[in-house]
Structure 1
Amino acid sequence: METKLMANIGTFKLSNGVFTGNITTLTINAKLTIKPAETGGTDKAPTHRVFLGTSTIGAAWEKTSKEDRTYYSIKIEDPSFAAPLFATLIKGDDETYSLLWPQPRPKAA
């Protein structure tokens, strides 16, 4: 299944290394914080943790695109989800960051 369409499901601001913002979907309306993770572990360890209040609900990995732009691969989990939510946090033209969810393309008939 291809994932070319992207829906903007959140907007964040970066201040002192911490992202704060909201995620909004049909079933989610939450204020999240994305903070740098404790260092250590492996190269595959998350660079950031995702928080809802004081609860850790996900992780993020800092990555670099082919165009040499930094972005964050986000994974959010909740017992109410059938599967984890995967999204990408990218910087916009201004000082805001957009949380983009890859929408699966419908299969060709």
Structure 2
Amino acid sequence: MNIGSIKQNDNGIYMGRISTLAVAMTIALRAVNSPNPKAPRFEVHALGPNRNWVQVGALFELHSNNTGEAFLNGRIDDPSLAAPLQVSCFRQDDGSYNVVWSRPTRRR
């Protein structure tokens, strides 16, 4: 289910909005520069009620097993949320990302 989108603004910052029945937040992505290959690609920051940015998650770059296409995957969490949002971000032809939510499946 598509719950938002992220676009690069004129300053080169990826910004967007996530909206569900219980959540409405403006988000920004900050690139993580790390030599560690297991480090996230982006930190996710949300605009708080006092107009301050708060880190609420991280996105890791993964690749599809079928197509090899890169996408971002991670979760957004905050004490105000009932449960973390598991999200994937898929790059579009115009360079923006669609944010897709999925309920985690339990392992057997």
Query: Under TM normalisation by the shorter chain, which class is it?
Result: 0.7 to 0.9
Matched, 1:13 2:13: no
The aligned counterpart of 2:61 is 62
Unaligned runs of 5+ in 1: 1-6
Higher relative CO (Cα under 8 Å, sequence separation at least 6) belongs to 1
**Runs of 4+ with >4 A deviation:** none
RMSD: 2.2
For the structure 1 residues 77 and 95, does the alpha-carbon distance in structure 2 shift closer, same or farther, using more than 3 Å as the test?
Answer: same
Q: Kindly tell me the number of residue pairs found equivalent between the two proteins.
A: 98
Displacement of 1:18 after TM fit? 3.5
Aligned match of 2:45: 51
Cα distance in 2 for residues equivalent to 1:85 and 1:96? 20
Name the structure with the higher strand share.
1
Which residue number in structure 2 is paired with residue 74 of structure 1? 74
State how far apart, in whole Å, the 2-side matches of 1:97 and 1:43 are.
Answer: 22
Q: Where does residue 102 of structure 1 map in the other structure?
A: 102
Tell me how far 1:35 sits from its aligned partner: 1.5
Q: Structure 2: which 5+ runs fail to align?
A: 48-52
TM-score normalized by the length of structure 1 = 0.75
Query: Residues 34 and 49 of structure 1 are in contact (CA less than 8 Å); yes or no, is this contact kept in structure 2?
Result: yes
Distance 1:101 1:62, change over 3 A: same
Q: Mean Cα displacement is larger for which, 80-89 or 10-19?
A: 10-19
Give the letter for the 1:25 counterpart: T
TM-score, L = length of structure 2: 0.76
